[in-house]
Amino acid sequence: MADIVVVGSLNMDLVIRTPRAPGAGETVRGYGFRTIPGGKGANQAAAVGRLGGAVSMIGRVGSDEFGERLVASLGQQGVDTGHVKVDSAAPTGVAVITVEDSGENRIIVSPGANGRVCTEDIDEAKDLLAEAKVIVLQFEVPLEVVEYAIEKATEYPAKVILNPAPAAQVSDEFLSRVDCLVPNETETRILTGIEVVDLATAGRAGKDLLSRGVRQVVITLGEKGALWLTQGSTMHIPAIKVRPVDTTAAGDAFVGGLAVGMVRGLVMEDAVRYGGCAGALTVMKLGAQTSLPSADQVGALFAGDTSVLESLA
């Protein structure tokens, strides 16, 4: 049985590089078009698999070539896909991604089969959930399914990690069932109404989320690292300095690394650092699942060996 169960999306990413993003009504010349397996849920599951974690995925793909590729890609990275359904009523989800030469990206998602994930899919995986140590969720499948999965998780020993992306307004009751909330700056602003521009504003937003019932919050801050908050403490974990190639899936790698660190019994500060190492290595390569680092790479960086950064530069 899997230690980590991921409930979420599987998308094929349609990626094109560009010197800069076009303005409204403007056409710019791009280059390097690729189709790359992605989707926040699948990325996080793949990140766990790459790091040697025992992981299962719950989700849906269409009955098409993209769906076949996505399921095969997860399997190659050690993810159990027995609960990924092939849905003939909808195409596989896709994401159109532009990546600027600076490494910044812009993403438009068409959910496809991800929008048909339902509560029955959660019920059919109850044996997985009952044995899991950590359940990881995001918001790229219907919100009512995420809420149902979190509610069901309260029946089991598993900890719930929620990456609220793309951000949506949710109730305090919903948040009170979350063991660890992992938003980025934009998602934090949407959840709290507080513009996150520095550590001070991140701290205020994190405390607001704690006041709504979340047990602990990890706000990812890009090049500024991450801020970890509980009711009793606040800790800033600095980012590892790298030259970004593509920031796609960096947050997903962070979540996957965090989940692996928690399952392996790391103290939370070190689990956040481990996730940060995974995220830092991910931005040094193009794509989503194609950029995810190995357990050896993350382990070396976590131990202070920065030569792995030079090998990827």
Q: Which residues are catalytic?
A: 252
Classify residue 267 by burial, with Cβ atoms within 10 Å: 0-12, 13-18, 19+: exposed
Angle of helix 250-263 relative to helix 268-282, nearest 10 degrees, comes to: 150
User: Quick one: CA dihedral 91, 184, 161, 51, positive or negative?
Assistant: positive
Q: What sign results for the dihedral spanned by CA atoms 169, 175, 178, 180?
A: positive
Amino acid of residue 283: V
What are the two backbone dihedrals, phi and then psi, of residue 52, each rounded to the nearest 5 degrees? 85, 10
Question: Which region holds residue 97: left if phi is over 0, alpha if psi is between -120 and 50, else beta?
Answer: beta
Match 């068409």 to its residue by tokens: 110
Tokens 């063991």: give the residue: 179
In the block, tokens 């690729």 appear at: 34
The residues facing 59 across adjacent strands are: 84
Cα 58 from chain centroid (whole Å): 14
φ/ψ of 45, rounded to 5, equals: -65, -45
What DSSP string runs through 274-296? HHHHHHHHHTTSSSSGGGPPPHH
The H-or-E segment that residue 23 falls in is none
Would you state the structure tokens that stand for residue 29, as one six-digit string?
């010349």
Total residue length of the chain:
313
Q: Which two tokens stand for residue 153?
A: 């998780």
